[in-house]
Chains A and B, each alone.
Chain A
Amino acid sequence: MERADYERLRWRCIRRALLELDITLTRFLDTGFDRLSEEEKQVFVELANMEDHELWYWLSGQTECDDPRFAPIVAAIRKS
């Protein structure tokens, strides 16, 4: 991923509407993101563009992620 693309993604992860997502996504960027394939990174970019409440419900396990494309990365973030 190009530097500018990564930094744009980083901004969109560290400045969310919900504190819970600020913390969770920042942590994943710092600990798990580098291990993703380029393809998975693009899926993460899409995930980060989701509305805050829907995303937090998935990441906190309050609702199950029913999208097979996102499910593996949601699981990875939950473990990070």
Chain B
Amino acid sequence: MSIPVLKFDAVIVGAGGAGLRSAIQLSEAGLKTAVLSKVFPTRSHTVAAQGGVAASLGNSEEDHWHWHMYDTVKGSDWLGDQDAIEFMVRKANECVVELEHYGMPFDRTDNGKIYQRPFGGHMSNFGEKPVRRSCAAADRTGHAMLHAMYQRNVKANTQFFVEWMALDLIRDSEGHVVGVTAMEMETGQVVIFHTRATIFATGGAGRIFYSSTNAFINTGDGLGMAARAGIPLEDMEFWQFHPTGVAGAGVLITEGVRGEGGILRNSSKERFMERYAPNAKDLASRDVVSRAMTTEINEGRGCGVNKDYVLLDITHLDPNTIMKRLPGIREIGLQFAGVDCIKEPLPVVPTCHYQMGGIPTHYSGRVVMPQNGDPNAVVPGFYAAGECACASVHGANRLGTNSLLDLLVFGKSAGDSAVEDLKAGKAHRELPKNAAEQSLARVSAIDNRKGGANVHETRLAMQRTMQAHAGVFRFGDLLKSGVDKILEIEKAARQLEIKDKSMAWNTARTEALEMENLIEVAKATMLSAEARKESRGAHVRDDAPDTPEFPNGRNDAEWLKHTLFNPVDNSISYKPVNMQPLTVETIALKTRSY
């Protein structure tokens, strides 16, 4: 069977913020650049980012990149690489100003500068007092950013392949990446993109959890493809959770609800936060609230048929206050929980929000993996940026507004590195003879299998297992049994069956292909989380509690290291954290407290 081959200098998989930013670098350098996307670019999940983008412009008050660096290292619970973090915060101003020049409609001060607003964790003078560092475009920062960058790409002649799904990375016998296979959804045709540079900007994989704020599109396609090509995944145990998502839907309920007097209750209507945080109660920090909610559910005091959520009660508040101070919250309850929150409490659970780990990269955007004794050997021809990549700047937990900064800085950096490597003048390497074999075999197996597993049921089993065994607060025994369960579910995920056999617009097939990516991420997460026996950042274990010897349960002597999950044999190895910044002194280890 002959498969069409399209030749490009570079292909970028994903048209969210990171993909569009890197495409600008390549196209403006005159390179023939293709961007593949499952959806129209301005419908990527970057659109959902509201908070803003961090940059120490100092427009509202004095600020410095070194302070931003300190906040990021501290936020990461010292797991972030300090060279990559210094690189990112020092590039922030340039990237934000560039974006402004692309036409991004930032909010402005009276004198016309970019307006900056405060955000949790942004501090001046090395953690001393809050500073206004976040640049935003109303509550549509991500949306405005995508539009500005999409227009710039159109001008630069980037070629978009919209409603195409990338299937597999193509590596030759020497390990060089020479392109990807992809499927055009409209026809079902599989095509080879033969390239000199391949950039993954596929976003996160929050859909591995039952409760996730992520849109359905976040199925970890880049991580799945990297894993199938034998590339390890870094720090996959670290996921940021939000305490209150609508149970069963994941839609975020703002923390303002608790701020206005909302009370969390268990199945016997008890205000359980009084036991966990006698002073702050329902206004305790995110970590404390999430942990308490999980404990209530795990100890059988959850609500509903499956006893798997708690209640957020605002029925005691004046309905006028609810409508005035919490606009939209009643609608969210009605639409996503079938509950009128003026009369009944809302079902809520801790909900996955952001993936800190990913495909290991250097801050130049080049993908790295252990080879011949070097833990960070470059995979030639392969780059990654944004939520799918792990540079690692977020370490064990991400500072708010650093996600949009990450995709700008590392999107640009990956693009620049690809341009630099391509200008070195190497021709296309030869395509392996079996370049499309793996993809064709996967598609054909899904199309033809009889008596296999149902996609929806398998995904649900995975999501429930991840939520119950590797959620926001983790337990040694649950992680252990979670490993067995997820390996069992993996067997089903490798035997998926679909009823629709059509070539054109077969969404059942596309969802099956996505499921094969999700399971790689779920497995990496569960096994990495089980292996890390300390608490750090967003990875909090019941059996690694806060003690004088190990504040917050963090054990630097043993665990100040990055996890590498090797998908080839499900093994785990570790590599050192880079504690050496580029020009300044190391930000020394300290207990993380706010």
Q: Which residues of A contact B (CB under 8 A)?
A: 3-4, 7-8, 10-12, 14-24, 51-53, 60-62
Determine if B258 is an interface residue (Cβ-Cβ < 8 Å).
no
What's the minimum C-beta distance from A1 to chain B, rounded to whole angstroms? 12
Measured between alpha carbons, how far is A62 from B38 in the docked complex, in Å? 29
Q: Which 10 A-B pairs have the closest CB atoms?
A: A17-B47, A7-B505, A22-B216, A19-B215, A17-B43, A15-B217, A4-B505, A60-B331, A4-B504, A15-B39
Q: Which residues of B contact A (CB under 8 A)?
A: 38-39, 42-48, 140, 143, 163, 185-186, 212-217, 249-251, 327-328, 331-332, 335-336, 502, 504-507, 510
Known: A11-B505, A15-B39. A23 touches B249 (CB 8 A): yes
Known: A11-B163, A23-B336. A60 touches B216 (CB 8 A): no
For B336, list chain A residues within 8 Å (CB): 20, 23
Are A15's CB and B43's CB within 8 A?
yes
Known: A8-B186, A24-B335, A51-B42. A16 touches B215 (CB 8 A): yes
What's the minimum C-beta distance from B291 to chain A, rounded to whole angstroms? 24
Closest residue on chain B to residue A8 by CB atoms? B505
Q: Which of A18, A19, A20, A51 has the most CB of B within 10 A?
A: A19
Known: A19-B213, A60-B335. A10 touches B507 (CB 8 A): yes
Are A18's CB and B215's CB within 8 A?
yes
Are B328's CB and A60's CB within 8 A?
yes
For A62, list chain B residues within 8 Å (CB): 327-328, 331
For B327, list chain A residues within 8 Å (CB): 62
Closest residue on chain A to residue B503 by CB atoms? A4
Which of B48, B143, B506 sits near A7, CB closer than 8 Å?
B506
What's the minimum C-beta distance from A11 to chain B, rounded to whole angstroms? 5
Closest residue on chain A to residue B250 by CB atoms? A19
For B216, list chain A residues within 8 Å (CB): 14-16, 19, 22
Measured between alpha carbons, how far is A75 from B379 in the docked complex, in Å? 53
For B45, list chain A residues within 8 Å (CB): 17
> 17 additional contacts, CB 8 Å, given A8-B505, A12-B39?
A3-B505, A4-B186, A4-B505, A7-B506, A11-B505, A14-B216, A14-B507, A15-B39, A15-B43, A16-B215, A17-B46, A19-B214, A20-B251, A20-B336, A22-B216, A51-B42, A52-B47
Are B43's CB and A52's CB within 8 A?
yes
